[in-house]
Structure formats: C-alpha cells, structure tokens
Structure 1
C-alpha cells in the first residue's frame, strides 16, 4: 500500500461511524486491490468487504490502528486451525503488511448466503440448522471453539456449510464447548427450542440437557443486556447525540431520514397526519418518501407532572428498550427507529419516539365475539401469549386495539408499560392483570371469550 499523502489509510483512520466509500489500495509489489463493496466497518480498527485482486474477486479484511498486526495474526491463526482440522473455511490468498496496516485476502465464495439468510428464506426448513450443528460438532470435536459464533459466520456455498471469521477461533478450555453451543442455540427463535433434541442429534456430541438449557438461558440474557446497551450508545448500528439539553439515539442506516426529523421533532409532528391528541401523548403518521413512520410525543401536562417525570427515564426511553426487547425475542412490534429526550442537565423533559408504521387492523375489528378466531390468527394468538409467558413479559395495557394483525403476524404496540419481570411473584400478579384485561375486550359469555380463556396461559 502506498505511503504517500494520497494513502487511503489516512482517510480511513479519520473516518467516523458511517461506512466509507470502498477504497482502492496500491500494494508494495505494484499490485492493486479495489474494494467493490464494504460489508463491515469498525471505525479505527477494520474494514471488510468484497474486492478485486489480480483479476479475481476476493474477500478482503483491512486491519489498521492499534493492534492491527495482532488482530490480523489472530485471524490467520484461526483460519489455519479450521483448515488443519479439515473444516470448510476460505483459504488465505495473501497477507500484506505496510505502514501499520495489514491486508488479508481470502477466497470469495460467490453466491454464498449466511445461515441467518437461509433461515429467513426457508422458514420451517431445518436442513441448514442441522448442517450447521453438525459442523459445530466437528469444530468442538477438534478441540476448538468460535467466540463470535453468530449466524452470519456460517456460510452456505452450494450444499456445503463453511465457517468464517478466524479471529474468534481458538483451542477450547474445559467446559467451553457447552457454553459455545449455548451461544449458538441462544440466537435461534424461542420456538426452535422445541426441536433442540433433533438439533443435538446432528451435533453428535454428548451434552447434559439440563446443563445446556441453563447455559442457553444465561446466554440469551447476556446477549439481550449487551444489545439493549448498544441501543443507547454510538456503535455501527446506532447513532447517539448527548448534550446537556437532549439525548437522542437512532438507527444509523436511516440517518438521512431520521436526523432531520430529530432536529425539530415538533415540526415533524405538526406536519404529520394526526392519529391521537391526548393530554399525555400526541401521535402522528409521517410520509418520508420511504416507508411511512409514526412519531409519538410524550407530553407533560403541568408542572407537577413534569416534576414527577424529571428524575426517571421517560416513557419514550422505556418504549424504545421494550420494542428492542420484544424484537430480540421474536415478538412482532413496529420497528423502533429513534428516541429523543429533552433534558435540563440531569432532569428529563418531554420525549419523542419514532417507529415504523404497521398498517394492520386491531383485534377489536378483526375478531368476532361470536366465533373462534380463524386458524392462522388463532395460532398467532396462542404463540404470542406463550412466548410472553415464557419470557415473563407483561404489556400493562392489553386492550384489543394494542394488538394489530398484519401479514400473518400479530404486532404489539403502545409499549409504555411493558415489563420483563425478574421476580416470579410480581410476574404472576402482572400476568393475571394482563390476561384479565385482554379477556375483558369481549363479553364473558361469548364464544371468543371462552376460547381465549381456555387457551391463554394461566399463572
């Protein structure tokens, strides 16, 4: 890579959170690497993407900044360990080190899809899961673990599953394989827990089911805490602006749409189509030129109300975390896009929440009290309440108008009072209230009420 002032590394080192344009690099031997697409960007550390080198497509990782040589060496060592164990992984083509940066080029699997993409495309088809578990069993059988075992690090190229990202691969310590297996399983939908026995048959290694169940639960909780923390700090997915007068967080990928709205949210609200104008909140729908949005302002009715809210997180803050928590568990809710709190030093004032728009009809309109729900909706209702009960989440205001039926899914909205309970007794009390409130939407002697009462989880 060039050392002159036109060295693109200088621009990369100074780049912020938004991914830079794909760079072109001149190598010391006179060759050239042209990035065609940036797939992952970690500011000050690494750029990964598809590139062209010697007339062929390659996968390129450019390490720079502090520790670049160490990270590159870990990547090489991990890929070499996978290859030595006979596990499918892209081969390293060349490594170039110059000017404090390291460029690693490996085979590019053209047309490959990740396990995550495969599961989204095939839904009920478990072939990809079974093959991935078999590959994971081989990894552990070779005495190795992968610390970054997310679903994007399993690639399917043709009929073959591949493991990538050697940086996370190292020798396993005692008991680490169970935790590594739990890390993988904790990323699957809760509904997939029912087929765990079949998946473990593909894993083909002995494991204590009770020990594994506890490890999966603990891993899910760790992943949830880390993810919710990310929604409140600057990272590749979220942009945060924190001053003495305001705090905002929003999806970085929609920066061009969301940032202007957050600059003057009152004007955005006034320009929208009013959906609700109450004392505690005002809601409007917005057309942005892309997908429609919903903006919700949490009002302060008077000085006593303002004082009571000033010392605690706003309802927008609570709803933001609740929406991300539901999405983490696979529970449908309009996507949370942005949240803003007005502040006066440590005191909190009004707050705003922006979400996607769900065009579905609410259950008060969809369901007929004189009939049982149609089969697809009946399944969705039972599944939703089963998951909520399992993860101890209560909504707090289960009016039928807060559940929307759209595209074969049941969406929860209005999450101000949503709680994930740690205390079993508190959960039982809150669940009884939620269940009773939902049933009160229809007459107690109706066919629908009786059907729901028989099928919703008790306490």
Structure 2
C-alpha cells in the first residue's frame, strides 16, 4: 500500500472498536477501524492479514506519526498470557541474534485486551508462498531444496541458542530483502544455557520435516546437513525418527479433523437438511455451485452416468472442475446408507489424506451432503479437473512405460505401500498421466490400514487388479510385476 493510499485510508478513518467488538465480529472485522491503546493513543488498522475468531487479529496499521506497523491484537480471555509470551519470545529471539521483526510497542488496550506492534516489512512474503509453486516438483528438486535450506539452517541457530519453537511451519518464516526471519514469538520457549535436550530438538526438527510430503523421505540429506551445520548437538537418527513418526501421526489426525469443522482452512455449515464443507479460499467462488449442484451437473459436460454415481465436468469462472453426485439406487440402498458416512464424505477425506502425503490426486474443493438430522442421503463432491490421459489408453502393452511415467509410478506406489494405503478399485482408468505425474482418482474405496496384515491382503487385490489391465506376458505387465512393491 502506497503512502498516498495510506493517506486516503486515514482520511476515511473508521469505527473505533475494542476487544469485545472484535470478538463479536468473528472472522470479518470491518476495515479500516481504529483501536485505542491504554495510553490513550489510537491506531488505524488498514487491512487484516490473519484472524483467529474471538482470539487474535493480525493486520497492518498506521500509528499517529503515519508509520506502518504490523499489529497483533490479543482479545480472548487469556489475552494477557498470550501477549506476554509473544513479547518474551520476540525478546528472546532478538537477544539470540535470530532475525525477527523488531518490536516497536507492547501495550494493553484501553477497553480490555492487549496489542503488540512490530516493524512492518513491506514486500515480505512467507516461505510457504515460495513453497506452493514448487510443491509438486520432484522430491529433492534442486530449486526446492535451495529454497528450504535456509529455514533448516535458521532452526539450527535457534536450537544452538537454547531456544525452541512450538509451531514450526513454512508460514512462520518470512522472506524479506534476501533475509529469512522467524516469527510467532508466542511459540518460542527459552531452555536456559547449554545444549537443548535431544527430545525437544528432535520434536522441532520433526515438525519442520513434517511440512514436506512423505515422498521427500530419502531426499532430506541437504536440509539436515544445513541444520547440523548451525547446531553441533543435533538429535540422533533414532530420536528424530521417533519424533517424525509422532508428528506426522498428529498432523494427519489434526488435518483430517479440520476437513469436517469450520476453521481457517475450511468453511463448514450444518443445517438439519444439509451439510457443506468447502476449502475456505474457494468458498465465495463456489457458492452458486454448492447452492444447486444438480443444476451445474445438468449444464456441464457429462462424463459418467451410472446407477451409483453421476459425474460431470463444469466450469466455474473459467476453471474446470468435476462434480460427482453419489446416487441412491433404490429405497433399500438408501436405507443401507442412512447411518453411514456417505461415499462423498469418504472421498473428500481420502483426497485430503493423499494431498497431505504428497500423492498426486485432483484437489478436493467441496462436499455437499443431504441430511435429515443424523441421517444421510445423497452427496456431491467437487474436485479440480485433471486433464490427464488414463494409463489404459496411454501405455503400450508391448513396451515398458516411458521414463517419466515409470519414475512417477515407482514413487506413487512406493508411497502408497509405505503408508499402508489401498485403493480398492485399481483399474488403469483410475490412473491419469497429466504430463508430470500419475494422478490417482476415484477414491470411494480407498483405505489407510492400521495393521500390516490387513494392508497386505488389500495390496494383493490392488496389485492383481492393476496387472489384469494388460495382457498376461506382455512387456508392460512384466515391467509392472517387477517394479511394483511385491505382494506379501
């Protein structure tokens, strides 16, 4: 925002809000607005960067001298504790020489709550912003590795200073003028002089590694080397493996739970007769489709019309998507589904599971379910459209797959097998090559198994179903039989 724009916004002023008004505003406090500090001075909040409803509001503000600041407003009943921890965490990072935005002011608000101001870094973005366009690159890709190395090196410096961070994710690293900075002082803990306990260091390092898809396993050597180069007392391999397993399990449970509740990532609404979950960033653009998905199916290009499901391609503001309606074949079929999660619900969650693991699949965008209280009826699933070609049409049975497809298949099935995931209907038409990766679709019967024995039985069926797509003794079938994880 330019100086002229700031002046125009300041001239427009805004309502004077306090902590109670911000709590009542939920996710959408009106901007601009004024906030009064305990010393009587006022700040003009120009735009919001993050809102935790009823708890915290983060935005860009302008002080009485016209200087731009980043403001974090603590407004819940525990605001004093969180504000104090944030203040102390920033101070600890600064004292240790860890780059972080400089603290400008920390005060109580005039009518309850607290505020903390730091330098506003114009033009800054997060490591997450840099990661997103590279997330689908091959594991260990040189450009992506170069992007991530500074974050692991910075974490090593944090640990060498006797500090830890309870919320390590790519969004908490800022990039500004060629520097990487660590933010969120509320998550910083001081552990005193001396070496950081191995368990604590392993937990932090695992937290950062868990941000990477599982396909990166075996490609993290340069990242760990950067960490160890900044911290001589790095955790051992066994401690790190235990911490990474625990962190990934927690992260999976937490993320899948979020797909069914209203939060910063997903917008969820529940009525007696309808349940809607949508990726929050897509909610406004998909509102018309979700209000009447059948109308969109009728207006779209039909891809499949079956007793159990109807699939159509639709365009939303020029973006191609697929809407899949899960039908009820008969009264008996409807009764059998009433008490169970719908197949749409299952596919919604499994799509997000695969995406979290870094397994290519069209992004699940929204889910609609008919409901009668606790009972469930039809469901509609909205996914991104994958323009790929299915492997049954693409591959020549008389030849091995081209190198790029072969590499993608190896990575796909190695990851599925390692995570004990079975597909349940592994036809070649459910594997789409999009030019860079093999995408897995039709996730209605997908399952992640708790036991190795259960997965082994399911994998034998999956493997057999895939091999049956091509003639026995063909070159392609021989290649797959040799390259796929073996049937136990």
TM-score range, shorter chain: over 0.9
Check whether the contact 1:337–1:354 (CA below 8 A) recurs between aligned residues: yes
User: Is 1:70 aligned with 2:81?
Assistant: yes
User: What is the CA–CA distance in structure 2 between the aligned matches of 1:435 and 1:186, rounded to whole Å?
Assistant: 29
Check whether the contact 2:79–2:113 (CA below 8 A) recurs between aligned residues: yes
| Shift of residue 82, structure 1, vs aligned partner | 0.8
Check whether the contact 2:215–2:358 (CA below 8 A) recurs between aligned residues: no
| Over 6 Å off, 4+ runs | none
| Shift of residue 415, structure 1, vs aligned partner | 0.4
SS in 1 for 2:383: strand
1:126-173 CA-partner distances (Å, limit 9, x unpaired): 234332222212212222211111111122333432111101011348
Q: 1:237 aligns with which of 265, 276, 288?
A: 265
SS in 1 for 2:76: coil
User: Is 1:107 aligned with 2:119?
Assistant: yes
Aligned to 1:293: 321
Aligned to 2:413: 385
Check whether the contact 2:352–2:364 (CA below 8 A) recurs between aligned residues: yes
Identify if the C-alpha distance between structure 1 residues 281 and 121 changes in structure 2 by more than 3 Å, giving closer, same or farther.
Answer: closer
Q: 1:48 aligns with which of 58, 72, 92?
A: 58
- Unaligned stretches of 5+ residues in structure 2: 1-13, 135-140
Check whether the contact 2:391–2:431 (CA below 8 A) recurs between aligned residues: yes
Identify if the C-alpha distance between structure 1 residues 244 and 119 changes in structure 2 by more than 3 Å, giving closer, same or farther.
Answer: closer
User: What is the CA–CA distance in structure 2 between the aligned matches of 1:427 and 1:381, rounded to whole Å?
Assistant: 19
Q: 1:7 aligns with which of 16, 21, 30?
A: 16
Q: 1:61 aligns with which of 72, 78, 83?
A: 72
| Shift of residue 436, structure 1, vs aligned partner | 1.6
Paired residues for 1:148-159 under 5 Å: 148-159=167-178
| Shift of residue 222, structure 1, vs aligned partner | 0.5
User: What is the CA–CA distance in structure 2 between the aligned matches of 1:263 and 1:435, rounded to whole Å?
Assistant: 40
User: Is 1:124 aligned with 2:142?
Assistant: yes
RMSD: 2.3
Identify if the C-alpha distance between structure 1 residues 256 and 111 changes in structure 2 by more than 3 Å, giving closer, same or farther.
Answer: closer
User: What is the CA–CA distance in structure 1 between the aligned matches of 2:406 and 2:68, rounded to whole Å?
Assistant: 49
TM-score normalised by length of structure 2: 0.87
| Shift of residue 281, structure 1, vs aligned partner | 0.6
Identify if the C-alpha distance between structure 1 residues 137 and 436 changes in structure 2 by more than 3 Å, giving closer, same or farther.
Answer: same
Aligned to 1:417: 445
User: Is 1:283 aligned with 2:311?
Assistant: yes
Q: 1:446 aligns with which of 461, 464, 474?
A: 474
| Shift of residue 66, structure 1, vs aligned partner | 2.0
User: Is 1:255 aligned with 2:283?
Assistant: yes
Greater alpha carbon shift after TM alignment, 250-259 vs 433-442 = 250-259
- Unaligned stretches of 5+ residues in structure 1: none
Q: 1:24 aligns with which of 33, 38, 46?
A: 33
Identify if the C-alpha distance between structure 1 residues 48 and 458 changes in structure 2 by more than 3 Å, giving closer, same or farther.
Answer: same
Check whether the contact 2:277–2:367 (CA below 8 A) recurs between aligned residues: yes
Greater alpha carbon shift after TM alignment, 64-73 vs 329-338 = 64-73
Q: How many residues align?
A: 455
User: What is the CA–CA distance in structure 2 between the aligned matches of 1:400 and 1:301, rounded to whole Å?
Assistant: 26
Identify if the C-alpha distance between structure 1 residues 257 and 157 changes in structure 2 by more than 3 Å, giving closer, same or farther.
Answer: closer
User: What is the CA–CA distance in structure 2 between the aligned matches of 1:115 and 1:265, rounded to whole Å?
Assistant: 36
Aligned to 2:459: 431
User: What is the CA–CA distance in structure 1 between the aligned matches of 2:29 and 2:437, rounded to whole Å?
Assistant: 37
| Shift of residue 33, structure 1, vs aligned partner | 3.6
